[in-house]
């Protein structure tokens, strides 16, 4: 638990905190530009498309978040730190890469899991390796999309080129002199 | 693009939830309750952010001339093509459902493998939709910056390595 906030600094103020307003501002701005450049029909079309996407996202995101909450309480932080913590070395990056490549599904479940591991003590290098592997090496994507659509030659050539890159990205992330703020306001309120 | 709202992935996610819930329940100490509360809180905090971010990302996708960009990439060759692949990748919404048809179209239009791989890499690791909709709302801008800086060399590196391997093996002219 890295949160130093008073427990009741109220969920509502967290929900409607800074990031929410920034995103709302960007949405209003891009919406206005779309209205101006493409007309009101396009805005309507975009909003309807978003509503459909939202229906698609909600059952997955809710599942992903509850999964993340349970992962946090079930996995002891010592175990997370030992396997993928800041001191886990190259082995930690390789583990994160392998797990990332094996994680199926879209960002709506992957990011909650990343948040959960972050709070449980995984370091940023491992998380960067995990996300890079998930997006670049996804095993499910390889089987379902790459092999059938691109053919084994092209698919395997690409695998050969990229398989080691998540570890590289993770190693760079560990050396960057930037500190990701502990996510005190990301579901750790209680 | 029509999204299937309920499919195997929903079943898979909720099955995992069920398994972990049983584990948490058997570990006792109120862990099940705590885990569920945390999950719901996370959803409560991030849900509204993702929702407004989704609106913004939806509008942005209408403002970008994607078809034009794909034509452009197919028409260029050599280093320019790799560079263009790196630069346009982030603007394509990342899911395989969108990316792979584009990939096949690019290959058919005569784009080289190095450029296509660079494009796929850039769409995967720099995908703006994903960064805007999920990464920044949930992990914060600093983490997103760290990840972007760490992976900024990957797409051109993929293009370069593909060129080298192809020249070495000579499999693809």
Task: Say if residue B115 is in the same domain as residue B146.
Answer: yes
Task: Say if residue B74 is in the same domain as residue B156.
Answer: yes
The C-alpha atoms of residue B50 and residue A13 are separated, in whole angstroms, by 16
Residue B121 has pLDDT above 50, yes or no: yes
- The rounded radius of gyration (Å) of the Cα atoms in chain A is 20
Residue B167 has pLDDT above 70, yes or no: yes
The C-alpha atoms of residue B9 and residue B29 are separated, in whole angstroms, by 31
- State whether residue A107 sits within 8 Å of chain B by CB: yes
Task: Say if residue B39 is in the same domain as residue B9.
Answer: yes
- pLDDT for the residue B117: 92
Task: Say if residue B43 is in the same domain as residue B58.
Answer: yes
The C-alpha atoms of residue A95 and residue B82 are separated, in whole angstroms, by 31
- The residue from B48, B63, B78 where one domain ends is B63
- pLDDT for the residue B94: 62
- pLDDT for the residue A56: 82
- Three-state secondary structure call for residue B14: helix
- State whether residue A68 sits within 8 Å of chain B by CB: yes
Question: Considering only CB atoms, which chain A residues are within 8 Å of B139?
Answer: 111, 114-115, 118, 180, 183, 186
Listed in sequence order, the residues at least 6 apart from B162 whose beta carbon sits closer than 8 Å to its beta carbon are: A157, A158, A161, B113, B114, B117, B118
- pLDDT for the residue A131: 95
- Which ipTM score applies to this complex? 0.82
- pLDDT for the residue A120: 85
Phi, psi of A175 (to 5 degrees): -95, -5
Q: How many CB atoms lie within 10 A of CB A162?
A: 23
- pLDDT for the residue B70: 64
Task: Say if residue B112 is in the same domain as residue B137.
Answer: yes
A144: which 2 tokens? 């379902």
- pLDDT for the residue B128: 85
Domain residue limits at B120: 64-173
The C-alpha atoms of residue A38 and residue B63 are separated, in whole angstroms, by 8
Task: Say if residue B112 is in the same domain as residue B54.
Answer: no
B115: which 2 tokens? 């450029």
Q: How many domains does chain B have?
A: 2
Q: Nearest residue on chain B to A176, judged by CA atoms? A: B146
- pLDDT for the residue A2: 44
The C-alpha atoms of residue B48 and residue B71 are separated, in whole angstroms, by 37
Q: How far is CA B154 from the centre of its chain?
A: 14
The C-alpha atoms of residue A92 and residue B18 are separated, in whole angstroms, by 28
Q: Nearest residue on chain A to B164, judged by CA atoms? A: A161
Q: Which tens digit of pLDDT belongs to each residue from B77-100?
A: 678 888 988 988 888 766 776 777
Task: Count Cβ atoms within 10 A of the Cβ of residue B12 and give its class: 0-12 exposed, 13-18 middle, 19 or more buried.
Answer: middle
Residues in chain A: 190
- pLDDT for the residue A3: 45
Task: Say if residue B83 is in the same domain as residue B164.
Answer: yes
- Tell me how close the Cα of B88 comes to any Cα of chain A, in angstroms: 17
Residue B69 has pLDDT above 70, yes or no: no
Task: Say if residue B2 is in the same domain as residue B52.
Answer: yes
- The residue from B63, B87, B109 where one domain ends is B63
∠ Cα A106 B137 B97 (to 5°):
25
Task: Say if residue B71 is in the same domain as residue B12.
Answer: no
Q: Nearest residue on chain A to B16, judged by CA atoms? A: A67
Nearest to A75 by CA among A99, A57, A105: A99
- Tell me how close the Cα of B45 comes to any Cα of chain A, in angstroms: 4
Q: Which residues of chain A have pLDDT under 50?
A: 1-8, 184-190
Cβ atoms B103, A149 nearer than 8 A? yes
- pLDDT for the residue A190: 33
- B23 secondary structure, DSSP code: H
Task: Say if residue B90 is in the same domain as residue B146.
Answer: yes
Listed in sequence order, the residues at least 6 apart from A182 whose beta carbon sits closer than 8 Å to its beta carbon are: A2, A3
- pLDDT category at B3 given cuts 50, 70, 90 is low
- The residue from B63, B84, B100 where one domain ends is B63
Task: Say if residue B103 is in the same domain as residue B131.
Answer: yes
Q: Which tens digit of pLDDT belongs to each residue from B44-67?
A: 888 888 888 888 878 877 776 666
From chain A residues 79-98, the ones with a CB under 8 A of any chain B CB are none
Task: Say if residue B46 is in the same domain as residue B83.
Answer: no
């Amino acid at each position: 638990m890295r949160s130093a906030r008073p427990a009741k600094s109220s969920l509502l103020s967290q929900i409607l905190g800074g990031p929410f307003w920034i995103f709302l501002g960007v949405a209003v701005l891009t919406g206005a530009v779309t209205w101006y450049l493409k007309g009101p029909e396009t805005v309507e079309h975009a909003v309807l498309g978003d509503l459909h996407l939202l229906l698609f996202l909600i059952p997955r995101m809710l599942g992903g978040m509850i999964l993340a909450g349970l992962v946090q309480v079930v996995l002891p932080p010592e175990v997370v730190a030992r396997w993928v913590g800041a001191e886990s070395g190259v082995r930690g990056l390789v583990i994160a890469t392998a797990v990332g490549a094996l994680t199926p599904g879209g960002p709506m479940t992957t990011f909650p899991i990343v948040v959960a591991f972050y709070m449980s003590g995984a370091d940023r290098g491992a998380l960067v390796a995990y996300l890079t592997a998930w997006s670049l090496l996804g095993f499910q994507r390889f089987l379902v999309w790459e092999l059938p659509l691109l053919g084994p030659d092209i698919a395997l050539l690409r695998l050969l080129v990229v398989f080691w890159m998540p570890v590289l990205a993770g190693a760079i992330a560990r050396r960057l002199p930037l500190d990701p703020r502990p996510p005190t306001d990301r579901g750790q309120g209680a | 693009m029509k999204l299937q709202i309920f499919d195997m992935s929903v079943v898979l996610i909720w099955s995992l939830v069920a398994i972990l819930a049983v584990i948490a329940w058997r570990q006792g100490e109120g862990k099940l309750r705590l885990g569920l509360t945390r999950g719901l809180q996370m959803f409560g905090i991030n849900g509204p952010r993702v929702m407004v971010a989704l609106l913004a990302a939806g509008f942005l996708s209408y403002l970008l001339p994607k078809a034009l960009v794909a034509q452009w990439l197919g028409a260029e060759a050599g280093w320019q093509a790799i560079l263009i692949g790196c630069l346009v990748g982030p603007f394509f919404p990342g899911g395989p459902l969108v990316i792979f048809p584009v990939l096949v179209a690019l290959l058919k239009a005569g784009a080289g493998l190095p450029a296509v791989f660079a494009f796929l890499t850039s769409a995967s690791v720099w995908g703006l939709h994903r960064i805007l909709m999920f990464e920044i709302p949930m992990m914060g801008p600093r983490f997103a910056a760290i990840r972007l800086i760490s992976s900024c060399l990957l797409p051109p590196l993929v293009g370069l390595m593909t060129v080298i391997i192809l020249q070495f093996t000579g499999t693809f002219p």
